[in-house]
A = this chain, B = another copy of it.
């Protein structure tokens, strides 16, 4: 199930960067959920390029829901979202179609698909395909919010400039979902933006990290072993192009800690079980403990850069130099934020539906 993810709630993704339409099928949603189009539009706008820090390709993302919705509500059957591609410049890609863009999937796609892949704009590998993911994820976020579950991601760092971290016991998610450039410490926005613009000027790009918090999840979600919360989330999140690392709670920071520092002591607080610290990111033994789920994601610098790069011509099997002409993002960290939120919401809807049944999310 290559382009599909999930069991009780599942998604199937399709489309190419320069194809006529891209889309997603989301199956297993409970019936009767009101679809708030403004909410979806808002989330799509968070993913859309803006200003000098993003690609110049402008897509209105005028999506259509062609199945699974009736009279403004989900029907409970497979819901399909289609988004047309409008602002494509395929000729940018034809001259270099046999040159492997370093850091991109051109060569690996050629090996896998024996030269039959749609090369234009990265084809099926393009970040463009995350637009329908965000639309489907927005529906899942609405569903979760009605259950008191909030998914929120901020930019933890860009180009080495660090935002502050979430308070792991009580993450500052309020208002985060409304920001285009989502930082906790707003003084960092200008600094990060400048670094991105500078990279663009230098025909280069920068990477960063995202930090995600999920509040309101019940304890007891997830499984030991292969369907741990970490397993399910990481599986889906590594599907996002450019993600190269994920860590839960203290993550790699655990490596230098002692057990006595790392363990989160349990405490009773107003009759509720809590932990005094949240180093484990709300997950013990693969299962939620009722504290906020916290994880960080590493996003590599956009591989599309304008400066000349050494590479190969994979048809001729010889060395070559590539100079990219397309329109590119000097940084995708701020745009990837909406995608991480979306994927997280989809995974959690699936896990909740598996645990509590398909009607639970009504």
- A77, B12: Cβ atoms closer than 8 Å: no
| Bound-complex Cα distance A139 to B121 (A) | 26
9 A-B pairs, CB-CB below 8 angstroms?
A16-B70, A73-B116, A102-B265, A108-B284, A159-B256, A241-B285, A255-B298, A273-B317, A357-B357
The stretch of A38-46, A50-58, A61-69, A176-184 that contacts the partner chain: A61-69
A239 contacts across to B, CB distance below 8 A? 225-228, 231, 286
- A262, B317: Cβ atoms closer than 8 Å: no
The quantity of this chain's copies bound in the complex is 4
A226-B31 contact given A116-B73, A252-B247, A284-B103, CB 8 Å threshold: no
A245-B244 contact given A27-B2, A266-B312, CB 8 Å threshold: no
- B2, A108: Cβ atoms closer than 8 Å: no
| Bound-complex Cα distance A307 to B261 (A) | 12
Binary contact readout A137-175 vs B (1 if CB under 8 angstroms, 0 otherwise)? 000000000000000000001011000000000000000
- A266, B25: Cβ atoms closer than 8 Å: no
- B16, A67: Cβ atoms closer than 8 Å: yes
New A-B contacts (10) at CB < 8 Å, excluding given A1-B10, A354-B358: A70-B118, A77-B113, A105-B287, A107-B289, A108-B287, A111-B290, A244-B252, A245-B246, A261-B301, A266-B314
Within 8 A of B (CB), among A274-314: 275-276, 280-281, 283-290, 296, 298-305, 307, 309-312, 314
Distance (Å) between the CB of A237 and the closest chain B CB?
A: 8
Q: Does A109 contact B (CB under 8 A)?
A: yes
A258 contacts across to B, CB distance below 8 A? 199, 204-206, 301
Q: Does A362 contact B (CB under 8 A)?
A: yes
- B160, A301: Cβ atoms closer than 8 Å: no
Binary contact readout A193-228 vs B (1 if CB under 8 angstroms, 0 otherwise)? 000000100001111110000000001111111111
Distance (Å) between the CB of A275 and the closest chain B CB?
A: 8
| Bound-complex Cα distance A131 to B107 (A) | 37
A232 contacts across to B, CB distance below 8 A? 235
- A238, B244: Cβ atoms closer than 8 Å: no
Distance (Å) between the CB of A324 and the closest chain B CB?
A: 11
| Bound-complex Cα distance A61 to B215 (A) | 42
Q: Does A264 contact B (CB under 8 A)?
A: yes
A255 contacts across to B, CB distance below 8 A? 157, 160, 207-209, 298-299
Residue from B82, B227, B247 in contact with A1 in the complex, judged by beta carbons closer than 8 Å: B227
Give the nearest-CB partner of A261 in chain B.
B301
| Bound-complex Cα distance A123 to B75 (A) | 10
- A285, B105: Cβ atoms closer than 8 Å: yes
Distance (Å) between the CB of A83 and the closest chain B CB?
A: 11
- A219, B287: Cβ atoms closer than 8 Å: no
Within 8 A of B (CB), among A318-362: 318-319, 354-360, 362
Residue from B8, B31, B236, B247 in contact with A298 in the complex, judged by beta carbons closer than 8 Å: B247
A19-B67 contact given A243-B230, A301-B257, A357-B355, CB 8 Å threshold: yes
Give the nearest-CB partner of A282 in chain B.
B108
- A244, B250: Cβ atoms closer than 8 Å: yes
8 closest A-B pairs by beta carbon, nearest first, are: A105-B285, A245-B247, A205-B259, A357-B357, A111-B220, A245-B251, A31-B116, A102-B263
